[in-house]
Amino acid sequence: MWRKGVLLSATFLIGLFVAVGCKKKEQILGQDSIDSNDLLTSEGVDTFTLRTFTIEEDSVITDNPAYGILGQFNDPDFGQMNSEIYTQIRLAGVDPNFGDPTTLTVDSIVLRLEYTGLYGETTDQYIEVFELGEGLSIDSTYYSFNTFTSTGTDLVRPGENNITMDVNTISVVGNDTVSPQLRIPLDNSLGDRFIQDAWDTPDIFNDNNEFINYFKGLHIRTTLSPLSGDGGVFYFDMNDPSSKITMYYTDGSGDSREFDFVINSECADFNHVDIINSLNVSTVIADTISGMQEFYAQSFKSRAVIQIPGLDNIPANAVIHKANLTLPIQYQTASIYDPGDLLIVSTRLSEDDDRLYSIGTLGEYSSSQKAFTISIREYIQSVILGEIENTELILSPFFFISSADRIIFNGKQTLNKAKPKLDIVYTEF
């Protein structure tokens, strides 16, 4: 079953549990109180204030991502998102020795990308593929805002740009049924060019470094922005052996042959992402008071922030036994805009440090409660022991640089019944 949201990867779970960067905006919003019935001692207990707001991320690194992301959707709450893929391709084998171009016929050439999931819905999208005019480097850092020039015309076979993107599609290659793939038919002229150039300048095809200098890569994008509530963003495993360009051709003897141009871990690639937030979301990001009803986290764009100034009033000799932060969200079951299952929870170690550090725990979503719950016991213990400063908790969708997840958190003045709360149990010694 494909879930309409990100599909989790245990390998990526480990890889993403690291520090990321952000910029802080000071805003004072929201509050809730401690549950005094849970306390073993009430000495030094006061009413906690939860200050909640949203910060915008303006420099998101997206090179060598877990997933390539392609497509567009128009979220009725958050606005428009568009994601494009830039990637190199490499020779599956050097010195392919296609033969004399005058004796060969290119039957077809297909760009194949292995689906891993989607955000939004199955939809027709108009896909274009261009050859890059500038080279990528595996050693370079690329951000979501980076773009590269293209050369020539659209490489997609004329008249076949409109493609149904469907993670449940049945893909057949030859006589074999394979895992779902996006299959983009390219113009046969690209195959003709490869065969001719391999014949005229074979050195280009005898070394991958020479090849990626000759053919610098691909820019894959969709056009035609969807209406509000329509569209989808699709995830692809760029390192899967099935993600590649396959050229099918017939040799002079009439035998059918094929050759692959692969996309693998040695290829430089990154996601280019454009997000145009709705007026409501933009206002909460920019304003110091508008987040009192709701605040947000969105992949590639924004993070939710919670400050708890009252932690400074917990006695220094306290031992924290339990500290659970419950954050209700706005989500209708079966909505195509799934909140994801996990949150990355980070903090800054001091006021003058903009780097983010994991606090060693994740926020977990409960579909029955429609809320994320975060155990922050160790974080609070470190604060009251003076090991770290009481700065803030910063919440991000788990696949912040490889998904389209977004979350609407209820604020203190939400019109909904469920409000954020913090429950702490501690003893003094």
Range of the domain at 335: 10-59+278-428
Identify whether residues 298 and 188 lie together within a single domain: no
Identify whether residues 339 and 392 lie together within a single domain: yes
Identify whether residues 216 and 351 lie together within a single domain: no
pLDDT, mean of residues 135-146: 95
Identify whether residues 289 and 339 lie together within a single domain: yes
| Cα 76 off chain centre by | 19
Model-level pTM greater than 0.75? yes
Identify whether residues 91 and 22 lie together within a single domain: no
10-68 confidence digits (pLDDT tens)? 333 333 333 343 433 322 222 333 444 544 444 334 356 888 999 998 889 999 888 99
CA distance 231 to 127: 13
CA distance 238 to 64: 9
Residue 272 inside a domain? The answer is no
Specify the range with the lowest mean pLDDT, choosing from 15-19, 191-195, 414-418.
15-19
Beta strands in 41-147 (DSSP E): 51-56, 68-75, 79-87, 90-91, 105-120, 123-132
Q: State which H helix or E strand residue 426 sits in.
A: strand 421-428
Identify whether residues 294 and 411 lie together within a single domain: yes
Identify whether residues 43 and 107 lie together within a single domain: no
Residue 5 inside a domain? The answer is no
Specify the range with the lowest mean pLDDT, choosing from 242-256, 309-323, 364-378.
309-323
86-130 confidence digits (pLDDT tens)? 999 999 999 898 989 999 999 999 999 999 999 999 999 999 999
306-360 confidence digits (pLDDT tens)? 999 889 888 888 999 999 999 999 998 888 898 999 999 999 988 888 889 999 9
Task: Decide if pLDDT at 398 tops 90.
Answer: yes
Identify whether residues 305 and 243 lie together within a single domain: no
Residue 3 inside a domain? The answer is no
Residue 17 inside a domain? The answer is yes
Residue 95 inside a domain? The answer is yes
Residue 273 inside a domain? The answer is no
Identify whether residues 247 and 391 lie together within a single domain: no
Identify whether residues 100 and 218 lie together within a single domain: yes
pLDDT, mean of residues 67-89: 96
Residue 127 inside a domain? The answer is yes
Q: Which of 205, 237, 267 is the last residue of a domain?
A: 267
- Can you read off the two tokens belonging to residue 216? 């610098």
The pLDDT, as a whole number, for residue 413 is: 81
Identify whether residues 46 and 99 lie together within a single domain: no
Domain count of the fold of the chain: 2
The pLDDT, as a whole number, for residue 379 is: 96
Residue 378 inside a domain? The answer is yes
